[in-house]
A and B are shown apart, each in its own frame.
Chain A
Amino acid sequence: MTYFANKPATEYSALPKLLLDLGAVLYCKTNVPQTMMTADSDNNVFGRTLNPSNLKLTAGGSSGGEGSLIAMKGSVLGIGTDIAGSIRIPSVCNGIYGARPSSGIVPFAGQQSPEDPGMPGIEVVAGPMATSMRACSFFMKTIMSAEPWRYDSSCLHLRWQGQQSSRKPRIGVVFDDGLYTPFPPVRRAIQEAAQKLRDSGVDVVELRLPNVAEAVGITYGMFALDGCQVSTFDTTQALANAFQLSLFKISSRQARSRKSSLSRGST
Chain B
Amino acid sequence: MDLNAGRRKLQAVYHDFWLGSNLDALILPPAPQTATPFDEWGPINYTMLWNFLDYPATIIPTGRIQESDVVDGEESTLYSEADLKNYKLCKCRNSTKRAPLTRLAR
Contact = CB atoms under 8 A, between A and B. Distances in A.
A110 interface: no
A58 B27 contact: no
Nearest to B84: A181
B102 A189 contact: yes
B23 to A, nearest CB: 5
Given A98-B58, A216-B45, A93 B40 contact: no
Contacts of B50: 100
Contacts of B38: 40, 42, 48, 56-58
Contacts of B64: 53, 95
A57 B36 contact: yes
A184 B90 contact: yes
Contact of A92 (B59, B69, B70): B59
B28 A174 contact: yes
B54 A102 contact: yes
Given A91-B102, A183-B34, A212 B45 contact: yes
Interface in B30-64: 30-64
A180 B59 contact: no
Given A85-B48, A192-B62, A171 B26 contact: yes
Interface in A182-227: 182-190, 192-194, 197, 205, 207, 209-212, 214-216, 218-219, 221-222, 225
Contact of A100 (B42, B43, B58, B100): B58
Contacts of B65: 185
Contacts of B17: 207, 209-210
B45 A179 contact: yes
Contact of A53 (B35, B41, B78): B35
A186 B101 contact: yes
A87 B37 CA distance: 19
Contact of A170 (B24, B55, B78): B24
Given A88-B30, A100-B56, A100-B57, A212 B25 contact: no
A79 interface: no
Chain A CB within 10 Å — which of B13, B56, B78 has the most? B56
Nearest to B86: A180
A172 B20 CA distance: 12
A210 B95 contact: no
Contacts of A71: 100
Interface string A119-131: 0111100000000
A116 interface: no
Given A85-B46, A209-B17, A219-B52, 5 more contacts: A99-B59, A171-B26, A181-B77, A184-B70, A185-B69
